[in-house]
Amino acid sequence: MRLATICRIRDEQDILPLFLAHSKALFDLILVVEHRSVDLSRQMLELFQKSDGFFLYSLGTFSNHSTAVTQLLIKEAFAKGADFVFLPDADEFFDVQSRKDLESLIQDHENEILEFKWKNTIISGLTEERNNPNPESILHVPTKPARLGKVVLSRKMFLDNPNYIPCTGNHWILDENENTIPARMVGEILHIPFRSRNQFAAKILRSSLDKLSQRGMPTVAGWHYFRPLEAFAQSGISDEELLYITAYYAEGWCGHTLSTEELFGPAFQKRSFKSIALDLNVYELINSCLAQNNKLPLERLLAHYVIQFKTEIPNCSRLEIQGEHILPSKASSVPLTEEGFTEWMFSENARLLKENRALIQHNVHVQKGVSELQQYISRLEGERSILQEMVDGSEEKHREIKKNFGEEYKRTINELRAEIDERGAVLDKKRAEVAELRALVDKLKNQSLPFTLH
């Protein structure tokens, strides 16, 4: 069984050494999209690039284009031989102690969409300005899982259902009609969305800008970023509020708090990263980057997000893998940026105007053809009337002969019947032709242009 994981990384240097160590312990294929990081994330990934089964891609757009990128890499992972594809973020750790444990959870479920539920975990040092998670860091793990989780897709489900797509966030799989496909819960994920105050501030601003950059994206899709950001701007976030936002991430927040004492109560378990699968050699290797420089100023990070902001249209342009880069498809007709989209709209309107004129001209020809068909039908109707009169005359002649002649009748009647059968066959043929032509005329009459020219 070959297992693959797909992940997008942007400025995750604090948690990345642990995430890569966890991924290496569990997966044969690791496909990572690095998305314009300013911190040491890129250097860490390049250091890890020497590992077998690791594939690094760069996404140069401002928006993360979550669904399009995930679809691309799901196809890439299965093309590289994966039997199951997992879709975690860098702050998500599968609650298993070994690869064998993970396999036991998913085996015999290749005909289903699988799900690992979140356990929104609070890490020690969360309320500090800076924090460097390590294998010894204390984790306060809730005893009950959250409502959301992450899905897992098998090769069989992928091949049998090519129209299935992951939703934004990879919480569900949708069919071509955007209906949610039921998923079987098979395990849990330790989800650590926030690790320090600086990382919290950077993430909610970056994620809010990402949602705003996606033209047509409903604001409600990023409420769990916008609401804390608004509170952060107005009055700040207290330690107790930050603890609550983390423990109930994406579950709803209206100023609620969670005390430090509650973390040691029955609702949480005290654990560490050593309780899950880790390749400690990988951790030591990647963590060595932090010894070089781990003090990226927060203001530089935030300034970078703002200065690079631009509106894009994720649902219009297609992306494709070009070597180690994920870029807009060369065949895509719609630009990513708002300015390019406006220019494209003018050219598209001109093209549609030209097509409209051509359709009007075509409609004139169609109307002329309809008139000619109507004339032909009128002629056929006249012939049909003549044939009917001939049949009626033959029947009248038959009755007259029967009345006025004796033995001669039997001989003459056979001749008349043959004549009637012959004319009846001609009539039936003409009737069928008339019916076909009437159907064609009705179809042409019902045709209409898709739009009108003003």
What pLDDT is attached to residue 21? 96
Q: What is the 3-state secondary structure (H, E, C) of the chain?
A: CCEEEEEEECCCCCCHHHHHHHHHHHCCEEEEEECCCCCCHHHHHHHHCCCCCEEEEEECCCCCCHHHHHHHHHHHHHHCCCCEEECCCCCEEECCCCHHHHHHHHCCCCCCEEEEEEEECEECCCCCCCCCCCCCCEEEEECCCCCCEEEEEEHHHHHHCCCCEECCCCCCEECCCCCECCEEEEEEEEECCCCCHHHHHHHHHHHHHHHHHECCCCHHHHHHHHHHHHHHHHCCCCHHHHHHHHHCCCCCCCCCCCCCHHHHCCCEEEEEHHHCCCCHHHHHHHHHHHHCCCCCCHHHHHHHHHHCCCCECCCCCCEEEECCEEEECCCCCCCCEHHHHHHHHHHHHHHHHHHHHHHHHHHHHHHHHHHHHHHHHHHHHHHHHHHHHHHHHHHHHHHHHHHHCCHHHHHHHHHHHHHHHHHHHHHHHHHHHHHHHHHHHHHHHHCCCCCCCC
Query: What tokens were used for 294?
Result: 């781990």
Nearest to 87 by CA among 121, 51, 113: 113
Both 31 and 106 in a single domain?
yes
Residue 240 forms part of a structural domain: no
Both 360 and 321 in a single domain?
no
Q: HSE, CB side, 13 Å, CA atoms: give it for residue 405.
A: 13
What pLDDT is attached to residue 147? 92
What pLDDT is attached to residue 251? 81
Instruction: Give the CATH number for residue 170.
Output: 3.90.550
Where is the domain boundary, 336, 368, 392? 336
> In 10 A of CB 108, how many CB atoms?
7
Residue 236 forms part of a structural domain: no
Both 281 and 430 in a single domain?
no
Both 353 and 374 in a single domain?
yes
Residue 204 forms part of a structural domain: no
Both 132 and 60 in a single domain?
yes
Residue 388 forms part of a structural domain: yes
Residue 412 forms part of a structural domain: yes
**Spatial contact of 241 and 255, defined as CB atoms under 8 Å apart:** yes
What pLDDT is attached to residue 229? 82
What pLDDT is attached to residue 121? 97
Both 273 and 363 in a single domain?
no
Q: What would the pLDDT profile of 71-85 be if each residue is shown by its tens digit?
A: 999 999 999 999 999
Query: What tokens were used for 208?
Result: 């809010």
Where is the domain boundary, 305, 336, 367? 336
Residue 331 forms part of a structural domain: yes
Cα separation, 256 vs 12, whole angstroms: 27
Expressed as residue numbers, the domain containing 398 is: 342-446
Both 427 and 362 in a single domain?
yes
Q: How many domains does the chain have?
A: 2
Task: Name the pTM for this structure.
Answer: 0.72
Both 16 and 122 in a single domain?
yes
Cα separation, 262 vs 363, whole angstroms: 75
**Spatial contact of 167 and 173, defined as CB atoms under 8 Å apart:** yes
Both 175 and 78 in a single domain?
yes
Q: What single letter denotes the amino acid at residue 289?
A: C
What pLDDT is attached to residue 449? 44
Q: What would the pLDDT profile of 291-322 be if each residue is shown by its tens digit?
A: 766 677 887 878 877 887 776 665 545 788 88
What pLDDT is attached to residue 149? 95
Tens-of-pLDDT digits for all 454 residues of the chain? 999 999 999 999 999 999 999 999 999 999 999 988 989 999 999 999 888 899 999 887 777 788 888 999 999 999 999 999 999 999 999 999 999 999 999 999 999 999 999 999 999 999 999 998 999 999 999 999 999 999 999 999 999 998 888 887 899 999 888 899 999 999 999 999 999 999 999 998 888 888 777 665 555 566 677 788 888 888 889 999 999 999 999 887 777 899 999 999 999 999 999 999 999 999 999 998 887 666 778 878 788 778 877 766 655 457 888 888 888 776 554 455 555 555 555 665 666 677 677 777 767 776 777 777 778 778 878 877 887 877 777 777 767 766 665 656 566 677 777 777 777 787 888 788 778 787 777 777 666 544 444 4
Both 382 and 273 in a single domain?
no
Cα separation, 30 vs 6, whole angstroms: 6
Both 365 and 422 in a single domain?
yes
Residue 229 forms part of a structural domain: no
Cα separation, 289 vs 91, whole angstroms: 19
What pLDDT is attached to residue 453? 41
Both 108 and 165 in a single domain?
yes
Residue 234 forms part of a structural domain: no
What pLDDT is attached to residue 407? 58
